[in-house]
Amino acid sequence: MHIHNLAGATDSESLALQEAGRRSMETLLNCYCREVAGPEGQLSVGPLFGQNDSPASVRLALQRSGGRIMHIRLPLTDERLLTVVDGASATGNYRYQSPFYCKSTGKPWGLLDWQALAGLLLRELSLKYELPANGELMQQIHDSVAVTSAVLSASRPGRFSREPLQAFIESEQSLVFGHPFHPAPKSRQGISHEEMQRYSPEMGTRFALHFFAVRREYVLQQSVLAEPCDRIVAAQAPAGLAADEAFSLIPTHPWQARHLLGHPSVAAAIRGGRIRDLGQHGEHYYPTSSIRTLFHPQNPYFYKCSLNVRITNCVRKNAVYELEGALQVTRIMRSLMPQLQQQFPSLRVMEEPGFISVDLKTGEMQADKEVTEGFGMILRRGFDDVLLPGVTPLLAGALFGNHIYGEARIRELLAAMGQHGGLPLEETAEQWFSHYVAELMYPVLYCYFAHGVIFEPHLQNVVIGVADGGPRQVFLRDFEGVKLVQERYSEKQLEAVSPRAREALWYSNEQGWKRIAYCLFVNNFCEAISQIGAGKPALQNRLWAVVRHHLHAYQSHYGDDVSARRINALLSGEPFPGKANLINRFFKRPDRASGYLPVNNPLGALGEDGTWS
């Protein structure tokens, strides 16, 4: 019996690894087609180009699915790649339907696994840019496959709970596959496999916070609330950990606590009595999709903690300028929200009104900076008093950035909405998407054009409040990603923050537009349309017509001359800006130095005939 169970477990792990590897190949090709092969004319999608020039499984997949051949040339390595997709995609959102093959001159087609495909593509990029092999990126891809495999072995996300906050937790912890246009969407470097399993949200985990008591003269904090940050934290702390006149409590992620305890300055501060290590205590908190932001349903605030782990592109620590910036954006949004709430009553902004950290003031600048960044924690407003009755908050990424599991969840929502509305499925899908686009796009564009505030509405920064299956509210979050148009916010207006924080907050108008257009139209709407209209090209066109309709409506109700230029360009088919995650990772660029590339915009091809009502 034991041997049988072990064999079953081994089979399950093997299948999970195969599925993780296949999804890695799909996301790698997504990136390569959008960033390299498509722009350079090395990609074709169409009928079979020769009955004898393809593997038998490819021909079978074509017969079974009625799809199209994707053919990619790698001119510098003299290789060809071949697979079957369900059809051409204007935005590069392909759906793969066969194994992946490679052919060299004079050799037969060979079946590829994820390691071979990654090696081929990275070798082609090395020759293209005349750079040595990027072993770091190959390791990140390997890490991503290992994490995805572990997640698939542990659990598969299912239907969300009927209880709103439990459903929210489940949505945050359901992202099995990650970003569909990133070469290593689940990469986590600097953390062991065992720790990954213990602390990763996809594993359905939860854990107690690790608390430190810090002498008040070494506490660095700011708040725009009636109380300082340490009092808010103390009010939510477990019984028996009450702060006293001399010390403040600071909660940390338990992995980060171990990292901090290994820092020489922290160890010295503990020996000297400036810091007390109190250990893990209290209720269990749930890690959300960002891994480092922690949630408890009874706490009115999320805790956005520092985590010295490289997650996809960045080490996720809270630098002081990011702490300051979040508070400055909160000040600005507090002044704007009364007007915004009147114009966009379904909008909620999850402000970040306080932060707390440690400044040991040892005089050793680098060591002090590492400690401050390591302890840095931001308060983010939760759902208390802002979630409407009967509304369930769900992470947008759980619906539109989660491959087959996202498709299943959006189908469930559409079915629920269809039962209440009595419309056929495709009409329900159009109505659902129309509500979503209006609730999200109007306030995001208005904040940019009218107020110079640049939100980052990608799929992990948007929470959708649903009732009876349909969108009723939209929550925008993560002020670390919010920027300000420099032409609109002078140095004097931002005098409350340091010069470093001002520099990080400022974007030019052009930078701001590219950030919003990428997050809104490419990262968000492209994926939503691909998931809602999966396998239905005509429905996808109608969903793009919904976007076109709402761009016209926005300009009619809220627009000005500046927005008219941007919106008219989109309506005429000007390419969307797309983030080049593969190329950025290949060059090891930090996120702030990431470039954009053109992504085909279907709105122009619809023409004025592509209207929706």
Residue 194, in any domain of the structure = no
Whether residues 358 and 439 share a domain: the answer is: no
Asked whether residue 5 carries a pLDDT value surpassing 80, the answer given is: no
Instruction: Return the SS3 of 251.
Output: strand
Residue 193, in any domain of the structure = no
Task: Sort strands 188-189 and 307-311 into parallel, antiparallel or unpaired.
Answer: antiparallel
Q: How far apart are CA 353 and CA 356, in angstroms?
A: 11
> How far is CA 251 from each of CA 43, 225, 356, 484, rounded to the nearest angstrom?
51, 19, 9, 30
pLDDT at site 608: 58
Whether residues 373 and 410 share a domain: the answer is: no
Q: How far apart are CA 30 and CA 17, in angstroms?
A: 20
Asked whether residue 355 carries a pLDDT value surpassing 60, the answer given is: yes
Whether residues 244 and 374 share a domain: the answer is: yes
Residue 163, in any domain of the structure = no
pLDDT at site 525: 97
User: Sorting pLDDT into bands at 50, 70 and 90, what band is 193?
Assistant: confident
pLDDT at site 4: 38
Asked whether residue 613 carries a pLDDT value surpassing 70, the answer given is: no
Whether residues 498 and 419 share a domain: the answer is: yes
pLDDT at site 50: 61
Q: Would you state the structure tokens that stand for residue 286, as one six-digit string?
A: 């749930």
Q: How far apart are CA 171 and CA 161, in angstroms?
A: 10
pTM of the model: 0.94
Q: How far apart are CA 565 and CA 449, in angstroms?
A: 11
Mean pLDDT of 138-167: 92
Q: Which of 7-16, 190-199, 378-387 has the highest mean pLDDT?
A: 378-387
Whether residues 375 and 396 share a domain: the answer is: no
For 211-259, write each residue's pLDDT tens digit.
999 999 999 999 999 999 999 999 999 988 877 889 999 999 999 999 9
pLDDT at site 47: 84
Asked whether residue 36 carries a pLDDT value surpassing 60, the answer given is: yes
Asked whether residue 315 carries a pLDDT value surpassing 90, the answer given is: no
Asked whether residue 101 carries a pLDDT value surpassing 90, the answer given is: yes
Q: What angle do helix axes 254-261 and 365-375 make, rounded to 10 degrees?
A: 160
For 454-504, write each residue's pLDDT tens digit.
999 999 999 999 999 999 999 999 998 899 999 999 999 999 999 999 999
Q: How far apart are CA 446 and CA 101, in angstroms?
A: 47
Whether residues 56 and 108 share a domain: the answer is: yes
Boundary (domain end) residue, out of 349, 381, 413: 381
Residue reference for tokens 């016209």: 552
Whether residues 549 and 402 share a domain: the answer is: yes
Residue 238, in any domain of the structure = yes
Asked whether residue 167 carries a pLDDT value surpassing 50, the answer given is: yes
Domain membership of residue 347 as a residue range: 206-381
Residue reference for tokens 């085909």: 600
Whether residues 316 and 353 share a domain: the answer is: yes
Residue 439, in any domain of the structure = yes
Residue 544, in any domain of the structure = yes
pLDDT at site 157: 82
**CATH number, domain at 93?**
2.30.30.1240
Residue 612, in any domain of the structure = no
Whether residues 368 and 398 share a domain: the answer is: no
Whether residues 286 and 349 share a domain: the answer is: yes
Boundary (domain end) residue, out of 116, 150, 184: 150
For 102-114, write each residue's pLDDT tens digit.
998 888 889 999 9
pLDDT at site 469: 95
Ranges of H-type helices in 262-402 = 264-271, 320-343, 365-375, 396-400
For 543-601, write each residue's pLDDT tens digit.
999 999 999 999 999 999 999 999 999 999 999 999 999 999 999 887 777 789 999 99
Q: Which residues pair with 211 in a beta bridge?
A: 251, 279
Whether residues 249 and 372 share a domain: the answer is: yes
**CATH number, domain at 567?**
1.10.510.40
Written in H, E and C, the secondary structure of 403-433 is: HHHHHHHHHHHHHHHHHHHCCCHHHHHHHHH
Task: Sort strands 247-252 and 314-316 into parallel, antiparallel or unpaired.
Answer: unpaired
Residue 297, in any domain of the structure = yes
Q: Which residues contact 253 (CB under 8 A, 6 or more apart)?
A: 199, 209, 210, 292, 294, 305, 306, 307
Whether residues 533 and 413 share a domain: the answer is: yes
For 522-554, write each residue's pLDDT tens digit.
999 999 999 999 889 999 999 999 999 999 999
For 415-436, write each residue's pLDDT tens digit.
999 988 788 999 999 999 999 9
Mean pLDDT of the chain: 92
For 255-268, write each residue's pLDDT tens digit.
999 999 999 999 99
Boundary (domain end) residue, out of 129, 150, 171: 150
Q: Taking the chain, what is the end-to-end CA distance rounded to the nearest angstrom? A: 62
Structurally, the chain folds into a number of domains equal to: 3
